[in-house]
Amino acid sequence: MLNKKILVFAASNSSFSINKKLANYAANQVADSKVTFLDLNNFEMPIYSIDRENAIGIPDLALQFKEEVKNTDGIIISFAEHNGSYSTAFKNIFDWISRINKNVWEDKPMFLLATSPGSHGGKTVLKLASERFRRGNINKIVEFSLPSFNLNFSEELGIVDKNLNSEFEQHLNDFIQEL
CA angle 15, 26, 33 (to 5 degrees): 110
Domain encompassing residue 32: 4-178
For the chain, give the mean pLDDT. Answer: 95
Contact 165, 158 (CB under 8 A): yes
Q: What's the number of domains the chain is made of?
A: 1
DSSP string, 74-132: EEEEEEPPBTTB--HHHHHHHHHHHTT-S-TTTT--EEEEEE-SSTTTTHHHHHHHHHH
Q: Residue 137's pLDDT is what? A: 79
pLDDT at 2 over 70: no
CATH number for the domain harbouring residue 87: 3.40.50.360
Tell me how long the chain is. 179
Q: Tens digits of per-residue pLDDT, 64-92? A: 999 999 999 999 999 999 988 999 999 99
On whether the pTM is more than 0.85, the answer is: yes
